[in-house]
Structure 1
Amino acid sequence: MSKTTAAVRADQLSQRDTWISIGIIGMLFFIFGFVSWVNAILIPYFKIAFTLSNFDSYLVAFAFYISYLVMSVPSSYLLKAVGFKKGMMVGFFAMAVGAFIFVPAAMSRTYEIFLLGLFTLGTGLAVLQTAANPYVTVLGPKENAAQRISVMGIFNKGAGILAPILFAAVILRVGDNELFQQLDTMTPEAKDAALDELIRRVILPYSVVGTVLFGLGIFVRFSPLPEIDTEHETAEVAEANSGKTSIFQFPHLILGAVAIFLHVGTQVIAIDTVIPYANSFGIGLMEAKVFPSYTLAFTILGYLIGISLIPKVISQVNVL
């Protein structure tokens, strides 16, 4: 394989531009977290608004994350064809489209259209994450890569702490507990009217989100981020990879993929199920809406440990 490693012109950046670039990538990870972890509120919210079963409500998470499986490999071809910065712009535009799909979905109160919007959001996010993660490695010394990953994790989880709280503040009202309790006793006409009003509360926040995502796509396209060169590799890398003809000859890559699969899976289960779990104890949505934020706050502790210990106290390899 002649192009196994990305050689980047990041070494040509001044220290100031390097920090600016790291800040931009941090912003991207914040956006990733905000869009991803708001699902923790959408799952119970849609369950009420569409009177769904537990299984059907978790199609929110399925529609969002299945896009990663579908789009991860096509994302790499897109980035190779148009470059990383243009590719990230496309990713932001796709996410904006996904957010705007929420408008007709809410107007018609059609769950399937919401799922399409979530899939489209996830598609854009798959492109963005495919592009953003290599930057974490190349923007700075490789010995500190794990430390930078921890910093990006804090951006991601910090957004996740804010997202459920802010989203719940926008779409939930003080009297909603009473409304939720009365739904089963309403006439069909009154119930439909109440649920229509409930689901249409997402129109304004997702219209704002879509507009911001579109603007961020333009911003990233013309930002000072260095372009990643996937056409060339250093002599050291070329020598190390000579004779390798299959991706399975890179065990660190395979193990990393397994690690990320398990890491993301455990996070999604913990965060996206905590509100329904609380509901099983009789704790309503209005009280449980902050539980995902608490869960994410504890995950930040691990990242803080990584920043403080790696590589000064313990090496990246030993941590792994």
Structure 2
Amino acid sequence: MVGSGSRAGGNFLTGTTEDNPPLAAALLVGSLFLLGLQDVLIKFTSSDLSLWHFQFFRAFFNMSLLLIFLRGLPPTPKRFWAVALRSFLLCGAMVCFFSGIPFLSLADIAAGLYVFPLFIAVLSGLVLGEKVGPRRVIAILIGFSGTLLILKPGTDSFTPFSLMPVFAAMFYACTILTTRKLCRDESPVTLAFGVAIAFLILGFLGLLSFSNQPFAEMAQAWPYLFTGWHSIDLWVYGIIAICSALNVSANVSLAKAYQTAEASWLAPFDYSYLVFATFWGIVIWGDVPDGLMVIGMILIAGSGGFVAWRERQEAKVPITR
């Protein structure tokens, strides 16, 4: 059981300042499995509702579930600005990610998203001032090559939507760094509640902006992205509620995972989502990855794993002045 017996100490729902890598890995893989199921349901319903409709009601259900579970409001954030920053960064990641769902296979989306360890390495050097050695630079270039193999720029399969998972990866990398550096001692439910509020605001603004169809031609071409409020069947609300339950469980576990282990140590386990996404894509939609995509995924996973390994090795070397 997770609780008083774990090194993380205290309650699963509270923040921690101690590491517990095995627990973090289990939480991460479990949360990614749940998110994989959620993404299958979102893709399945993408022809019946808009992105903003989905985000607004999923956030509403998320907040309701958290309030019921907590029997009140979550703990007050220790750093309100940091929680708000993390919440909107994750919103940016998920909006970019979900924007591609109707137009790309789950494997395509997952592969694009999983260049995020490379963004972590780049941002660690540019923003945090950490040293990025030549080996990591080579790994980043290899991962970028894998991304090009998957995106296939210059071919008929490449569209602007192909870039959305890559933008999602950039925002997701920022979210991970923010969680680790600024939100480590926050309660996971506080972080999940913050994300729900951010999505509620974003979904409401999207519904408000597109309900009068100011972009009628784009709404006709891409209704998932440019449609505001509209009537949907009751069963779709049921799917959104299921997605909400999966999302809350996954987000709490995800936040706890990155609080209790270094992001670099967890990076290899994060690639389990590639397996889940590819599996569901094959089973449900028959989206079998072609040879170039498989090679690209291997390059991305290999380069990301190498970056994580190098960070672990360097962390073991004492820093001298």
Return the index of the structure with the highest Cα Rg.
Answer: 1
Instruction: Tell whether the structures are fold-level matches, with TM greater than 0.5.
Output: no
More helix by percentage? 1
Instruction: Please indicate the TM-score interval, normalised by the length of the shorter structure.
Output: 0.3 to 0.5
TM-score, with length taken from structure 1: 0.34
TM-score, with length taken from structure 2: 0.34
